[in-house]
Amino acid sequence: MNRQIRLKSRPAGMPAADNFEAVDSPMPALEDGDVLRRTTYLSLDPYMRGRMSDAASYAASLNLHDIMCGHTVSEVVESRNPAFRAGDMVTGYDGWQEFAVSKGKDLRKLDPRAVPVSTAIGVLGMPGATAYVGLLDIGQPKPGETVVVSAASGAVGSIVGQLAKVKGCRAVGIAGSPDKCRYVVEELGFDACINYKTDDLVPALGAACPGGADIYFENVGGKVFAAVLRVINRGARIPLCGMISQYNTTTDPGGPNLRALLVQRAMMKGFIVSDHADRFPAFLQEVTPLVRDGRIKYREDIVEGLDAAPSALIGLFEGRNFGKMLVRVSADPTRG
């Protein structure tokens, strides 16, 4: 049987366990040209909250009882397609299920000898590409500038700050616990990190950014955004990547005072990484060696088994994850 987790009902506010249903479906049958794979890792990402809702957004909502969507790393178990062999490791978008079948056009082969395969859905996958496009293309960092990033210990934020350092900038993170802040500074090499839950944000930002902020990579929205706007410099750039503090709100959260954009002639630009697929080869070419050499570090937070996925997804909105949130759906054949 093929275990799947599907959308049972739409959340009102924070998702809950009963919005999901586990279903044991028959194994998919293979036809000529098909590739059958077993999911090794499933990526859990904040955007999944939007797909569970029926509110209009940049991508279509899931229908009720659809399999939950998501990027995956998988092992080919049977192939009737000459381009793939049993044992190949691939990345695709198979969603929350143990097995999937397709003609393989949606798959990219991975080289387990180059980097751990799980990176294909983390630092070297969609989250890493988001950091790359948002920081480099929209943020346009110049050496000596100060880059502030929120959700700094997370999948996207951790790469933003490290890329900022690679580009010769000062990197200031904002995160939600002392452990996360310590990790961001001591392990990832940011210059400073502010705990938005305990620090007085505006003075802390002033101290961490003595010359102000030239780029604010926005991941969370709300009071953090409002505070960073108080320290932006003239000509600042704000890649508007995510607003996770608002994904589960049921009432109008209000908003920051955008007057600073006007006064500082700042630019704010929303972006969705999937619109920038043409940048993916450049991203992989530039960032893969940095990951391989350890100049860009990453941390994974892995839960075991598909049934743990709903709770782990909810944890993203509570800051329970520490690093890229992944589910190990089955044993990783490339790791001993």
Residues found near ligand NDP in the complex (CB under 6 A)? 45-47, 127, 130, 151, 153-157, 175-177, 180, 219-220, 241-242, 244-245, 271-273, 316-317, 319, 321, 324
- 102/246 with CB nearer ligand NDP: 246
Euclidean distance between CA atoms 176 and 199, whole angstroms? 10
Euclidean distance between CA atoms 45 and 244, whole angstroms? 11
Q: How far is the CB of 80 from ligand NDP (least distance, A)?
A: 34
SS (H, E, C) 242-310: CCHHHCCCCCCCCCCCCHHHHHCCCEEEECCHHHHHHHHHHHHHHHHHHHHCCCCCCCEEEEECHHHHH
**10 Å Cβ neighbour count for 317?**
17
**10 Å Cβ neighbour count for 195?**
18
Q: How far is the CB of 197 from ligand NDP (least distance, A)?
A: 7
Output the CA angle 158-159-164, nearest 5 degrees: 105
Euclidean distance between CA atoms 170 and 99, whole angstroms? 44
Euclidean distance between CA atoms 258 and 20, whole angstroms? 38
Determine the 3-state secondary structure of 17 from DSSP: helix
- 1/272 with CB nearer ligand NDP: 272
Q: How far is the CB of 134 from ligand NDP (least distance, A)?
A: 7
**10 Å Cβ neighbour count for 261?**
16
Q: How far is the CB of 167 from ligand NDP (least distance, A)?
A: 19
Q: How far is the CB of 171 from ligand NDP (least distance, A)?
A: 15
- 14/290 with CB nearer ligand NDP: 14
Contacts of 324 (CB under 8 A, 6+ apart): 43, 121, 122, 123, 127, 154, 155, 298, 299, 300, 301
Q: How far is the CB of 112 from ligand NDP (least distance, A)?
A: 24
- 119/321 with CB nearer ligand NDP: 321
- 25/248 with CB nearer ligand NDP: 248
Contacts of 219 (CB under 8 A, 6+ apart): 149, 150, 151, 154, 156, 157, 241, 242, 243, 244
- 189/319 with CB nearer ligand NDP: 319
- 101/227 with CB nearer ligand NDP: 227
Q: How far is the CB of 208 from ligand NDP (least distance, A)?
A: 15
Instruction: Label residues 295-316 b or e (16+ Cβ within 10 Å = b).
Output: ebbbbbbebeebebbbebbbbb
- 135/273 with CB nearer ligand NDP: 273
Q: How far is the CB of 269 from ligand NDP (least distance, A)?
A: 11
